[in-house]
């Protein structure tokens, strides 16, 4: 069974994962409203992935004989400036999440909770992709801007995400 402190920290991270989902759902709505359906679909898929992350943690806590403590989810940003702004904010957000996951790993080590430390390794690996993907897309957007190309090709590429 995990400690009370670990349960509280994982419950807090579940809240952060659900906030991330809400954050990406808002980005999807923004992109759809500005005529970028590929961007909208990409962020909608990201919303779905964040819900799955929260569920993994939820199931783990309950599997450890503990009860998740749910809290209010903060309101995410509603306004963005461009497709580039969406991915700049995504990268910034994912770097923050990586820090939170690393903090959880540190707590698990401090608590001598090898089971939770091993469980969290999936999230550590996932965060590498969660940072690399928006960084790559942001780079493509910046390249398109530097050659005065519009975002339609990038929008088509993002629409292909399954």
- Closest C-alpha among 20, 41, 19, 21 to residue 30: 41
pTM of this prediction? 0.94
Cα dihedral sign for 24, 27, 29, 35? negative
Per-residue model confidence (pLDDT) at position 111: 97
Question: What is the number of other CB atoms lying within 10 angstroms of the CB of residue 155?
Answer: 19
Per-residue model confidence (pLDDT) at position 161: 83
Indicate the helix (H) or strand (E) that contains 46. Answer: helix 37-63
Cα separations in angstroms, 120 against 74, 90, 146, 162: 24, 22, 39, 25
Stretches in the chain below the pLDDT threshold 50: none
Residue 143 CA, distance from chain mean position: 24
Residues 6+ positions from 40 with CB-CB distance below 8 Å: 28, 29, 31, 32
Domains, the chain, in order of start with CATH, read: 4-159 (1.20.1260.10)
Query: Nearest-5° angle of CA 75, CA 80, CA 81?
Result: 165
């Amino acid at each position: 069974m995990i400690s009370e402190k670990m349960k509280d920290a994982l419950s807090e991270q579940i809240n952060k994962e659900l906030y991330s989902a809400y954050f990406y759902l808002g980005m999807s709505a923004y992109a759809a409203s500005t005529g970028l359906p590929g961007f909208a679909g990409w962020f909608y898929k990201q919303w779905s992935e964040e819900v799955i992350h929260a569920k993994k943690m939820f199931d783990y806590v309950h599997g450890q004989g503990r009860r998740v403590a749910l809290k209010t989810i903060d309101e995410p940003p509603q306004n963005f400036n461009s497709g580039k702004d969406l991915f700049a904010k995504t990268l910034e957000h994912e770097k923050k999440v990586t820090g939170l996951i690393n903090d959880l790993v540190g707590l698990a080590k401090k608590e001598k909770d090898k089971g939770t430390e091993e469980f969290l390794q999936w999230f550590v690996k996932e965060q590498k992709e969660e940072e690399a993907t928006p960084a790559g897309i942001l780079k493509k957007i910046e390249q398109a801007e530097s050659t005065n190309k519009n975002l339609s090709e990038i929008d088509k590429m993002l629409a292909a995400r399954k």
